A = this chain, B = another copy of it.
């Protein structure tokens, strides 16, 4: 059964090893892999060749599960040099643009590569992510993160300060901005984008949103919108259902807009 064999854990596959909510590990399947926990040691040396979903036991007799990592898992378990970007935000941003398999997109900055990974995954097999960051060590860390996750194939990393020189690409399908001063990228995003297509940006502070929106308005971007996405975990327990009592209360404001071609407008009129 070919399909079934496709679900066998192969060497170097990423596996989400899960005991419980507090004990979960994203590991790469390699020979002689072991994990120690306060619920016992996990012998993962035989994991290669087992199917995803495989249930093992720690040396103390507790069950553990070898699960398929979600895209969110891959994002959240990257080696990080930067603040976290959350699936709730990136999932929404992805749908707020027109990108899909085959698209060519720009992101700036690369950060730890969480968005790079999401884009690389969903633009495959033929799309490409042009990922820019001005900090060498961030680019190198993100490149390793993408290679480990198996999505480095359709990413081109560039270490550069695009504020001055702009992007090398033209007519891209979307520009994603995650830098502390997103408004400085807006003119560069305008140059690089296809007409009618999307720029998105996310920032923790209100002032960043305000200044970015002002700059978008100054550069023939239209349909400018901002929002925030709040996630509440719901605990479903025998004693009752309720939201979790403490957690994350803010990550970022999301801003989106679309480029219009105002100069273009005169031409059809001037024909007459």
Contact = CB atoms under 8 A, between A and B. Distances in A.
Interface of A: 1, 3-4, 6-7, 18, 21, 24, 46, 50-57, 63, 65-72, 75, 87-88, 90-98, 100-102, 118, 121-122, 124-125, 170-171, 194-198, 204-210, 213, 222-236, 239-251, 253, 258-262, 264-265, 268-269
Contacts of A46: 268
A122 B50 CA distance: 28
8 contacts: A18-B223, A56-B268, A204-B242, A205-B239, A205-B240, A225-B233, A245-B248, A246-B246
A60 B194 CA distance: 28
A78 to B, nearest CB: 14
Contacts of A230: 229-232
B67 A240 contact: no
A92 B100 contact: no
In terms of DSSP, what is the predominant structure of the interface of chain A?
A: mixed
Contacts of A88: 88, 91-92, 229
A258 B18 CA distance: 11
A65 B206 contact: no
In the complex, the 3 A-B pairs of residues with the closest C-beta atoms, listed nearest first? A53-B195, A205-B240, A52-B196
B194 A52 contact: yes
Nearest to A90: B95
Contacts of A224: 236
Nearest to A253: B234
Contacts of A94: 71, 91, 94-95
Contacts of A232: 227-228, 230, 249-250
B222 A261 contact: no
Given A65-B196, A69-B98, 19 more contacts: A4-B171, A51-B196, A53-B195, A54-B261, A55-B265, A68-B258, A71-B94, A71-B98, A88-B91, A125-B125, A205-B241, A207-B241, A210-B236, A228-B234, A229-B229, A229-B231, A230-B230, A243-B249, A245-B248
Nearest to A261: B53
A260 B241 CA distance: 24
Contacts of A18: 222-223, 258
Most buried by B among A97, A101, A264: A101
